Structure 1
Amino acid sequence: MTDGITLPGADPDLLYSEDENALRAAVRSLLADRSDPATVLAGLESDVAYDTGLWHALATEIGTAGLLVPEKLGGAGASAREAAVVLEETGRSVAPVPYLTSAVLAVTALLGCDHDRADVAVPLTALAEGRTVGVLAVPLPTAPGGLTAPASVRADASGALTGRVTSVADAAGAELLLVPAEGPDGPALYAVAAAADGVRVDTVTPLDLTRPLGHVTLDGARGRLLAGGDRARAAVDRALLTGAGLLASEQLGVAEWCLTETVRHTAERTQFGRPVGSFQALKHRMAALWLEVASARAAARNAADALATGSPDAPVAVAVAQAYCAPVAVRAAEECVQLHGGIGMTWEHPAHLFLKRAKSDELALGSPGRHRDALAGLVGIPAP
C-alpha cells in the first residue's frame, strides 16, 4: 500500500473503504425501498424485460452505470472494487436490472476498444450515463477465453452481419448490441442498434426470471466496426474476465441474504417449545455455511481487487473466485429453502428467487468446473 493505493503486485486490500461503504449504503437503501421481495415477485408476472424505474434510479441517480468509465467520458472513474459492491447488493435483492450485462460486460468491452474514436466514445458515454442499455452478444455461459473458435456471426466488407447468438442475457431490453463477429479480416467487434432492420430478439423462458435471456438473430443487420483482430479479441476476453470476476460478488450477495434469512427464520420458528435454530444439527449446518460465506467474501474481494489494480494474477483470482463462490451461493440457497421447511417451497416466499439466481449464476460466464480447469492451466497443475 502507498498513500492508500494498492499497487500491482502488492498484497491485496480486501477491506472496504469508506467510499465503498457509503456506496453500499446508498444502493442498499434504494433496493430495500424499490426491490423488496414482494415487488420482485410481482414483476415476474409482467412481460417487462427489467424494472426500468429501478434501473434509472440505480444507474443514473446514484450513478452506478458509469463506475468503470473514465470521468472524461461521463463516468465516475472508479474501479472494479466499487462495481463489486453494487453487485453484492443487487445479489442480496436479486434486483431485476441489467447491471452486470450493461455496466460491466458491455462497458468493459467498449473500454477495450479505442475510446478516443467518437463511434466508441459516444455509446460508452451513453452507457455511463444510464441513457442506453447495452449487452455483449455472447451466450451467457461463455467463460473467459471461451470465444477462441470463429464467431457464430459473420460480417461482410460493408459491415452487414448475419448469424445467430443464443442465450444472451438481457438482450430483450437492450438498445445496443456489441456483437463479436468473424469479419473479412478475422475477429471483429461491431456495434448494432437493437432496433435496426435485420435484428430480431426472441425471448426464451429462463430458470432465473429476474435475468431474462434472448436469442439474437441478425439477417444483414448493419453494424459499426469498433475493433478488429487482436484488439477485438482482447476487448471481449477482458469483458468476460471482468464479468466473471465481479459475478462472484453477486454470488456472495445471494449467499449472504440466504444465510441471514435462514438464521432469522430459525431463531423465530419454534418446535417442541424451542427455536429450531437452537437444535445442534441445525447450528452445525448454519455454522458451516457461515464459514463458506466468509471464505467466499475473501475470494470475491480478491478477484475485484485484482481486476481493479490490473494485477497480472487477475485471471488466477477470477478462476478461484468463480470456482468457489458459485457452489457456495447454490449451497446457501438450498439450505435456505430446506431450513425454511414447507414455506420455503412456496411461490410467495422469495427463497426460490435466490435459488434460481444462484443456479443460473453457476452456469453464467463459465461453470465452476470450467474455471477449475482454467486455474489448473494458469498455475501449472494440469489435470491427469
Structure 2
Amino acid sequence: MTTTTADYTWPSELAELRDVVAAFRERHAGEAAVRTLAETNTPLDSRTWQIMAEQLGLAGLTVPEELGGAGAGYEFLAVAMEELGKSLLPSPLLATTALAIGTLMQAGDASARERLVPALAAGQITGTLGYTGADGHWDPARKPQVRATRNGDGWRLDGTVHHVLDGASADLVLVVADTDEGPSVFAAEGPLPGLVRSPMATLDGTRSQARPDFHDVPAAAVGVLGAAAPTVEAVLTRAAVLLAAEQVGGAQYCLDTAVAYAGTRTQFGRAIGSYQAIKHKCVDMYLEIESARAAVYYAASCLTVNSADAEPAASIAKTLASAAFDRASADSIQIHGGIGFTWEHPAHLYFRRAISTRALFGDPRRHHEVVAASLLDRTTRSDASTSPPESRRVQ
C-alpha cells in the first residue's frame, strides 16, 4: 500500500508514523515545555522519553529485530526526526540512535552490541559518543585528547572530550580514546567515580552539550583496537542524514509560521502576504526546503540498502538542509517583523538551532569536500574504463 502525493510516493507506514509522531509532538513538545527545559538546562523527563522510546518505539526503529528493534529502514527514523525537528524538543533521541546505537552497530563488536543495543532500543538507557576536541570538529588524523591504558583485563580512561551531545545526562558514554594501537572506541557505563560532566554554554539552549572529563575511569573496549576512524566516519554519515531530516522539520516550521503570519498581519489595508516581496521570500523558502527534503530521503534510502552512494548522498542532504534551515529561520524573523525579534517569540530559538546544527556532524565545507572527492573518484574511474588499451593509443 502506498500513499501518493504530487511530489512523493510514500509507503503508508511512513505516513502513519508521521501522524503518530506529530500527535506526540503537539501533546508533549509545546513551546512552553521546550523553553522550560532549555532555560533550566534540564534533561527530558523519563516519562516523556519512555513514551518516545517504548510506546512509539522511536529509539529502536532501525535496530534489527533480533536486538529488540523494529528492523525498519532509515526512512522511518528520518520521518520521526523531521517531525520532532518542528518542536526543538531537547530529547536524547538523536544522540542515542545516531551516535550510541550507530557506533555499536558499526564497531563490529557482537558482544557489546548484544549487551547494550537492546537496552538503548527500549529506552531503558540513553547513550552518546564523544569524538571531538575543543574545536568541535572530527579529524581522524588528530590524536584524541583522551588516553586509554590497560588495567588488568580492562581499561582506564584519562582526558577530556568536548561538545558531547547529551554528555551530561547519558547513561552510556562511548568515547574515542588513544591507545598504542591507535584511536579506539571505549564504553563507560553508568555513574562512575572520576567521570566529571560539565555542561557547555552553547548558542542553542535546546540541545545539550557537555565536556566529560575522565580521571582514571574504568571502561571497556568496543570493537577492534585502532579502528575508531572508520567506525566514526560511518557513524557521522548516518548522523548527518538524521540531523538533516531534523533541520528540514525545523525549516518547515519556520515556513509554516511565516506563511500563517503573513496571511493575517495587515499593513496598508492588505495582508502582508499579498505583497510580492513576501510572496517571493516564502516561495524561495519552500523551494529550498523541498529540495533538501528530497535529498534527505534519498540519502536515508541509500543507508537502508547500504548503497555506495550513502556518503556523498548524506553530505548533499546535510548541505542542502543546513542552507534551507538557515534561510527559513532568518527569513521567518524578517517576515514576522518587530515581533520576530523579541525574546518571547520562538523565532530566535529556530535561528539558534539552525546556526548550531550547520556545524554539527560536519560543516558545509567538509561536506562539500566529500561530494567533490566522490565526483572526482567517479570521473577517474569513468576515464579509466573508457580509455583505449595501450596498444591502440595514438602515440
TM-score scaled by structure 2? 0.89
Cα displacement string for residues 142-185 of structure 1 (whole angstroms, at most 9, x for unaligned residues): 66x73332222111122101111111111111011011111232
Correspondence 1:183 to 2:179: yes
Cα displacement string for residues 319-369 of structure 1 (whole angstroms, at most 9, x for unaligned residues): 111122101101100011111011111222111111111111101011111
Cα displacement string for residues 29-63 of structure 1 (whole angstroms, at most 9, x for unaligned residues): 00101101122123223241234332221111101
What residue number does 1:146 align with? Answer: 139
Contact 1:157 1:184 in 2 (8 A): no
What residue number does 2:274 align with? Answer: 278
Cα displacement string for residues 166-222 of structure 1 (whole angstroms, at most 9, x for unaligned residues): 111111110110111112322221110251111111111111111111111111111
Contact 2:109 2:222 in 1 (8 A): no
The CA distance in 1 between the partners of 2:246 and 2:297, in whole Å, is 11
What residue number does 1:59 align with? Answer: 53
What residue number does 1:233 align with? Answer: 229
Pairing partner for 1:134 from 107, 121, 127: 127
Correspondence 1:268 to 2:261: no
Q: Point out where structure 1 has 5 or more consecutive residues left out of the alignment.
A: 5-12
The CA distance in 2 between the partners of 1:258 and 1:137, in whole Å, is 31
Contact 1:142 1:365 in 2 (8 A): no
Correspondence 1:367 to 2:363: yes
The CA distance in 2 between the partners of 1:240 and 1:369, in whole Å, is 15
Correspondence 1:123 to 2:123: no
Identity across aligned pairs (percent)?
A: 35
The CA distance in 1 between the partners of 2:211 and 2:367, in whole Å, is 25
Contact 2:60 2:69 in 1 (8 A): yes
Contact 1:68 1:104 in 2 (8 A): no
Cα displacement string for residues 75-99 of structure 1 (whole angstroms, at most 9, x for unaligned residues): 1111211110111011111111011
Cα displacement string for residues 290-324 of structure 1 (whole angstroms, at most 9, x for unaligned residues): 11111111111111111111110111101111122
What residue number does 1:193 align with? Answer: 189
Letter paired with 1:269: R
Deviation, structure 1 residue 14 = 6.2
Contact 1:14 1:305 in 2 (8 A): no
Correspondence 1:106 to 2:100: yes
CA change 1:336–1:53 in 2 (3 A) is farther
Deviation, structure 1 residue 287 = 1.0
SS at match of 2:205: coil
**What do you get for the CA RMSD once the two structures are aligned?**
2.1
What residue number does 1:91 align with? Answer: 85
CA change 1:381–1:227 in 2 (3 A) is closer
Letter paired with 2:56: I
Count of residues in correspondence between the two structures:
370
What residue number does 1:218 align with? Answer: 214
SS at match of 1:135: strand
Pairing partner for 2:307 from 283, 289, 311: 311
Letter paired with 2:132: P
The CA distance in 2 between the partners of 1:381 and 1:278, in whole Å, is 48
CA change 1:303–1:380 in 2 (3 A) is same
Contact 1:111 1:235 in 2 (8 A): no
SS at match of 2:161: strand
Cα displacement string for residues 12-38 of structure 1 (whole angstroms, at most 9, x for unaligned residues): x96431111111111110010110112
Contact 1:155 1:161 in 2 (8 A): yes
Pairing partner for 2:36 from 39, 42, 59: 42
Contact 2:29 2:89 in 1 (8 A): yes
The CA distance in 2 between the partners of 1:55 and 1:209, in whole Å, is 19
Pairing partner for 2:170 from 164, 171, 174: 174
Cα displacement string for residues 122-161 of structure 1 (whole angstroms, at most 9, x for unaligned residues): 2111100001010011239866x73332222111122101
Larger Rg: 2
Contact 1:69 1:128 in 2 (8 A): yes
Pairing partner for 2:328 from 328, 332, 335: 332
Letter paired with 1:32: E
Contact 1:27 1:89 in 2 (8 A): yes
Deviation, structure 1 residue 115 = 4.9
Contact 1:106 1:239 in 2 (8 A): no
Pairing partner for 1:75 from 63, 66, 69: 69
Letter paired with 1:344: G
The CA distance in 2 between the partners of 1:238 and 1:16, in whole Å, is 27
Contact 1:178 1:189 in 2 (8 A): yes
Q: Point out where structure 2 has 5 or more consecutive residues left out of the alignment.
A: 379-395
Contact 2:109 2:223 in 1 (8 A): no
Contact 1:186 1:228 in 2 (8 A): no
Displaced runs of 4+ in structure 1, greater than 6 A?
A: none
